[in-house]
């Protein structure tokens, strides 16, 4: 560890490497220590790896990396800042209450091409059946079944009685059932 610290400080101070090379060398030397640092603070191995990447991302934004006298201190100060930011983000997003993705529980079954085509054909038959209906009946069916309005709301909107709404809805649904039943056979 002492050799690692001395080597890192020498490389940064001596300016032997410039810019990206200095950062790459710093990463190579300090990555294991940073991983241990983050894992001791409760991060999983993959989250610790992400946190190390965050540290070097922040350091890469600093053009004056070459020539730091206290590179190790700044490195771990940056790591502490990343750890605090990650903790705040996890707390704000309530990550402890999230459920991990489970393929068996969360996956949506894939539909076959045949089922998709069949569904589109059924939709086209429904649209065609609606077009064949008398306009007033079609309006009542669409307001009741698609927009989920009550009979009273439909009556007010169309300026007709509730009994007329009920009569047209029964007539329209019977017509749809008959036409779709014939088309499906």
CATH no. for residue 162?
1.10.10.10
Task: Name the domain count of the chain.
Answer: 2
Predicted pLDDT at 167: 96
Do 20 and 83 lie in one domain? The reply is yes
Residue with tokens 């502490």: 80
Which tens digits make up the pLDDT trace of 32-87? 999 999 999 888 888 899 999 999 888 888 766 655 666 777 888 999 999 998 88
Residue with tokens 């007010």: 156
Confidence check: pLDDT of 112 > 90: no
How does the average pLDDT of the chain come out, rounded?
A: 82
Q: What percent of the chain has a predicted confidence (pLDDT) above 70?
A: 82
Predicted pLDDT at 65: 61
The rounded distance, in Å, linking the Cα atoms of 176 and 184 is 12
Residues 107, 112, 115, CA angle at the centre, nearest 5°? Answer: 115
Nearest to 59 by CA among 68, 46, 48: 68
Do 64 and 145 lie in one domain? The reply is no
Segment holding 105, helix H or strand E = helix 103-106
Confidence check: pLDDT of 19 > 50: yes
What average pLDDT does the segment 108-132 reach? 88
Q: What percent of the chain has a predicted confidence (pLDDT) above 90?
A: 45
Residue ending a domain, choose from 95, 112, 143 = 95
Is 164 part of a structural domain of the chain?
yes
The domain in which residue 41 lies consists of 2-95
Is 49 part of a structural domain of the chain?
yes
Question: Are 58 and 41 within 8 A, CB to CB?
Answer: no
Do 65 and 136 lie in one domain? The reply is no
Residue ending a domain, choose from 52, 77, 95 = 95
For residue 180, the Cα-to-chain-centroid distance in whole angstroms is 39
Predicted pLDDT at 10: 52
Do 88 and 135 lie in one domain? The reply is no
Question: Are 14 and 71 within 8 A, CB to CB?
Answer: no
Do 91 and 140 lie in one domain? The reply is no
């Amino acid at each position: 560890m002492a050799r690692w610290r001395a080597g890192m400080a020498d490389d940064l101070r001596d300016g032997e490497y410039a810019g990206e090379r200095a950062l790459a060398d710093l990463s190579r030397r300090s990555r294991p220590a940073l991983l241990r640092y983050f894992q001791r603070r409760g991060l999983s191995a993959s989250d610790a790896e992400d946190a190390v990447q965050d540290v070097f991302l922040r350091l890469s934004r600093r053009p004056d990396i070459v020539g730091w006298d206290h590179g190790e201190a700044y490195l771990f100060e940056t790591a502490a800042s990343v750890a605090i930011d990650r903790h705040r983000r996890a707390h704000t997003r309530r990550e402890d209450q999230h459920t991990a993705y489970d393929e068996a529980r969360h996956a949506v079954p894939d539909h076959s091409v045949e089922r998709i085509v069949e569904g589109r054909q059924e939709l086209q038959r429904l649209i065609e059946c609606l077009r064949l209906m008398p306009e007033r009946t079609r309006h009542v069916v669409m307001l009741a079944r698609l927009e989920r309005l009550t009979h009273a709301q439909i009556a007010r909107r169309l300026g007709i009685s509730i009994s007329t709404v009920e009569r047209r809805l029964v007539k329209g649904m019977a017509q749809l059932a008959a036409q779709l039943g014939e088309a499906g056979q």
